[in-house]
Amino acid sequence: MLVEKYADRIDKIFAKYQDKRSAMMDLLHLAQEEYGWLSEDSLREVAALCDVDPTQAHSIAGFYTMYSEKPKGTYWFQVCTDLPCALRGADDFYRQLCEYLGVGEHGGTTGDGLFTVEPVMCLAACDKAPMMQCNFHYHENLDLETVKALVDKLRAEAAQDQKAASE
Ligand code: FES
């Protein structure tokens, strides 16, 4: 439970706002950080902390692409395919990336659970398309070769982490 593990942090979040409800986005971030995604239970937990109905937590989680109501891979690729980026080749880049990772043309998660790819709307880096964020860090002016290099690097990091965890 968030409230048991993060009591101080939750108090500090509430202290920033005039009412509990206004803290919902911060608490959704906290829940996603803790659980990896926003399950039905975690949305209920956040709603209870904010004294609101769970449907309100659902509506916020569903509106913003920074929240995920589905489990996702260790590395979450959100590729902007909005119009200005599409004019700079983002659609083709997205298709190539999905094909390279073998997740199907609409995106999804790789079989090893390492990568989730999904399209998102404008991330405010339109002049640097094709661009994406990976776990909220921007990668810009991408092409298939640069993203392959990134995927290789992340695979190597994940393998190292797994090795360290098993030692
Ligand atoms: S349209 Fe893609 S970052 Fe703005």
Average pLDDT for 158-162: 93
Q: If you measure from the C-alpha of residue 56 to the centroid of ligand 1, how many angstroms do you get, rounded to a whole number?
A: 28
CATH 3.20.20.80 applies to domain 2-63: no
Pocket test for ligand 1, best of 85, 93, 94, 141 (most atoms within 8 A of CB): 85
Average pLDDT for 74-100: 97
In whole angstroms, what is the distance from residue 60 CA to residue 51 CA? 15
Residue ranges covered by each domain of the chain: 2-63, 75-166
3-state secondary structure 81-143: CCHHHHCCCHHHHHHHHHHHHCCCCCCEECCCCCEEEEEECCCCCHHHCCCEEECCEEECCCC
The first and second tokens of residue 86, run together, are: 């599409």
Q: Which residues line ligand 1 (CB under 6 A)?
A: 80, 82, 84-85, 122-126, 129, 131
Q: Which of 146, 148, 117 is nearest to 133 (CA)?
A: 117
Q: If you measure from the C-alpha of residue 128 to the centroid of ligand 1, how many angstroms do you get, rounded to a whole number?
A: 8
Please give the pLDDT value at position 105: 85
What percentage of the chain reaches a pLDDT higher than 70?
Answer: 100
Closest atom of ligand 1 relative to the 125 alpha carbon = 3
- Is the Cα dihedral 31, 10, 47, 137 positive or negative? negative
Residue nearest to atom 1 of ligand 1 (CA): 122
Record: fold of 75-166 = Glutaredoxin (3.40.30)
What percentage of the chain reaches a pLDDT higher than 90?
Answer: 95
Average pLDDT for 26-50: 97
Pairwise pLDDT comparison (10 vs 104), residue with the higher score: 10
Please give the pLDDT value at position 7: 96
Average pLDDT for 106-113: 94
Asked whether the predicted pLDDT for residue 142 surpasses 90, the reply is yes
Asked whether the predicted pLDDT for residue 49 surpasses 90, the reply is yes
